[in-house]
Amino acid sequence: MSEPNVRRRPALLILLAALIYLESAALAVISVVLLIDLLTQRPDSYASGVAILILALLATAWLAVMATHALLGRAWIRGGTVTWQVLQIAIGIGSFGGLFSRPDIGWVLIIPAVVVLVLLFTPTVIRATKRPESPADE
């Protein structure tokens, strides 16, 4: 018998969290590659290499936290998720031009970021992540 108070997660919320988890997993892979490069190659600056690795690891953890709390229906995930997606889009746009342009990487960064932004502001996801009203808010 199912409990009447159990709230089902909307499919779009699950899809949103899955995409954020995938971004976190991709960043984890990039972090491992950065670590291997740092250990096997001679960087111009070890301090910069370690700093970039730490930032990548922090971003990986932050994305995993946001995805987990998206599944829990937390309202605060919107700000952090939007910030990350905007940064990802900016990096993707930067990948289209310059001396070392890689349009393939640009599209791989931009497409999921746009999908996450659209999902984040669908009415279903907004309802699922809406902060419950308390009597003090009235």
Q: pTM of the prediction?
A: 0.86
Give the type of residue at 102: R
Going from N- to C-terminal start, the domains of the chain cover 11-127
Each residue's pLDDT tens digit in the chain (138 positions)? 455 545 688 999 999 999 999 999 999 999 999 999 999 999 899 999 999 999 999 999 999 999 999 999 999 999 999 999 999 999 999 999 988 899 999 999 999 999 999 999 999 999 999 877 766 655
Dihedral sign for Cα atoms in the order 44, 46, 51, 52: positive
State the helix-helix crossing angle for 103-120 and 11-40, rounded to 10 degrees: 150
DSSP annotation of 135 reads G
